[in-house]
Amino acid sequence: MPTWRIDIAGAKFSLVSDPIDRLVIYCLPQDLAGAQRILKEVKKVVELYSSLFSRPKLYAGYTIIEIPDGLGSQASDLYVLQTPAAFTDSTRIGEMYHEVAHTWNAMSKRDVQRCRWFDEAFASYLEALAIFSFYARQAFEDELEKSREIFVHWANYDRQVYDTPIADHGKKELGRHSYTKGAWSLYVLNQVVGDQTFTQIFRAMLAEYETRAMDFDDFRAVVERISKRNLKKFFDEWIYGTESSRLLVDGVSITDIVKRY
Q: What pLDDT digit, counting tens, does each position of 91-110 carry?
A: 889 989 998 999 899 999 99
pTM above 0.85, yes or no: yes
What's the burial of 3, exposed, middle or buried (CB within 10 Å: 0-12/13-18/19+)? exposed
The total number of residues written for the chain in this structure = 261
Whether pLDDT at 1 is above 80: no
Q: Strand pairing of 14-18 and 23-27?
A: antiparallel
Q: Which has more confidence, 183 or 72? A: 183
C-alpha distances in angstroms, 63 versus 36, 125, 137, 208, 215? Answer: 13, 22, 29, 26, 29
Q: What pLDDT digit, counting tens, does each position of 31-42 carry?
A: 999 999 999 999
Q: What pLDDT digit, counting tens, does each position of 126-143 carry?
A: 999 999 999 999 999 999
Looking at residue 73, its pLDDT comes to 82
What's the burial of 249, exposed, middle or buried (CB within 10 Å: 0-12/13-18/19+)? middle
Q: Among 102, 95, 97, 103, which Cα is nearest to 116's?
A: 102
Looking at residue 117, its pLDDT comes to 97
Q: What pLDDT digit, counting tens, does each position of 214-252 carry?
A: 999 999 999 999 999 999 999 999 999 999 999 999 999
Whether pLDDT at 124 is above 90: yes
Task: Indicate the average pLDDT of the chain.
Answer: 94
Looking at residue 72, its pLDDT comes to 82
Looking at residue 179, its pLDDT comes to 97
Whether pLDDT at 2 is above 80: no
Which domains are delineated in the chain? 14-104 (3.30.2010.30), 110-259 (1.10.390.10)
Looking at residue 210, its pLDDT comes to 82
Which long-range contacts does 13-22 make (Cβ < 8 Å, 24+ apart)?
13/65, 13/66, 18/43, 21/46, 21/61, 22/60, 22/61, 22/62
In three-state form (DSSP H/G/I as H, E/B as E, the rest C), the secondary structure along the chain is CCCCCCCCCCCCCEEEEECCCCEEEEECHHHHHHHHHHHHHHHHHHHHHHHHHCCCCCCCCEEEEECCCCCCCEEECCEEEECCHHHHCHHHCHHHHHHHHHHHCCCECHHHHHHCHHHHHHHHHHHHHHHHHHCCHHHHHHHHHHHHHHHHHHHHHCHHHHHCCHHHCCCCCCHHHHHCHHHHHHHHHHHHHCHHHHHHHHHHHHHHHCCCCECHHHHHHHHHHHHCCCCHHHHHHHCCCCHHHHHHHCCCCHHHHHHCC
Whether pLDDT at 158 is above 80: yes
Q: What is the mean pLDDT of residues 78-100?
A: 90
How far apart, in whole angstroms, are the C-alpha atoms of residue 168 and residue 156? 19
Looking at residue 4, its pLDDT comes to 80
Looking at residue 56, its pLDDT comes to 83
CA–chain centroid gap for 53, Å, is 13
Q: Among 202, 189, 226, which Cα is nearest to 56's?
A: 202
Give me the residues paired with residue 23 across strands.
18, 62
